[in-house]
Every structure is written in structure tokens, then in C-alpha cells.
Structure 1
């Protein structure tokens, strides 16, 4: 799977989870950029991503995420 496909899938997850069809993810997008992205939403987001991509994140990976670009890199590394 290409990174562009991962962004597309992630964007759909974000739009659904945050009930906002106007979300357009970029590599630099972070929690400060998305209304409602708090700690509980973060957990729900991680679970949704793990289910969609059939992967599992390690705690250290989750704690090290700074933005969507880094998230995509981690997902990409797990899929390839």
C-alpha cells in the first residue's frame, strides 16, 4: 500500500470519528488542528486505525506520534 492510499484511508477514519467531512489531513496535522481530538478520541482513533489496517501499535509507537505524517510512516512500515 502506498502512502497516498494510507492518507486516503486515514482521512476517511478521521472524518467518520470526528463527524467532520471537511477534514483534510496533511503530514503536519496534529491534535491541535482537529477539533475534538482529545485523549479519549486518540484512543478511539488508534483502535479504528488498528482495525482498518489490521495492525497493532506498540505503546512506545503511540507515545512517539507527533503528527499525521509520523503516523503514516509508522503504518507504512508495518504494512511493508
Structure 2
């Protein structure tokens, strides 16, 4: 799965968790760009992504994500070690 495909799947998770079909994310998206992406929803997003891809992020990884692109890169590296 390439990064564009991962982005599409993660975007669907964002729509579901945030209960907003209009959410569109890209590699440069940060929390302040998305309505309702607060600290509680961030935890729910991480949990949903981990479940969907059957992966686990470390707390350090989560803390270091600067944007969606870094999250996608981390997912990709876990799926394709």
C-alpha cells in the first residue's frame, strides 16, 4: 500500500471518528486545520488508526507527529518493515 492509499484510508477514519463527512486531510494537515480535532479526538483517532491497520504507535511516536504526513510515514514503516 502506498502513501496516497494510506492517506485515503486515514481520511476515512478521520471522517468516522470526527463524525464529519466533509473532512479532507492531506500530508500537511495539522490538528488546528480540522474542526473538532482536539486532544480527546486525537486519542480516538490514534486508537482507530491502530485498530484499522493492526499496528501500535509508541507514545514517543505519537508525541513527535507534526502533521498527518508524519503519521502516514509511520503507518507505512510499520506495515512495510
TM-score normalised by structure 1 residue count: 0.96
SS at match of 2:45: helix
Provide the rounded CA distance (Å) in 2 between the counterparts of 1:22 and 1:38: 17
Structure 1: which 5+ runs fail to align?
Answer: none
Partner of 1:25: 25
> What is the Cα deviation at residue 2 of structure 1?
1.0
Separation in 2 of the partners of 1:3 and 1:72? Answer: 7
2:13 corresponding residue in structure 1: 13
Task: Deviation per CA, 1:9-67: give whole Å up to 9, x if none.
Answer: 10100011111111111111010011111111010000000000000001100000111
TM-score (norm 2): 0.95
In structure 2, the gaps of 5 or more residues are none
Give 1:68 deviation, angstroms.
Answer: 0.4
C-alpha RMSD of the superposition:
0.7
Aligned residues: 80
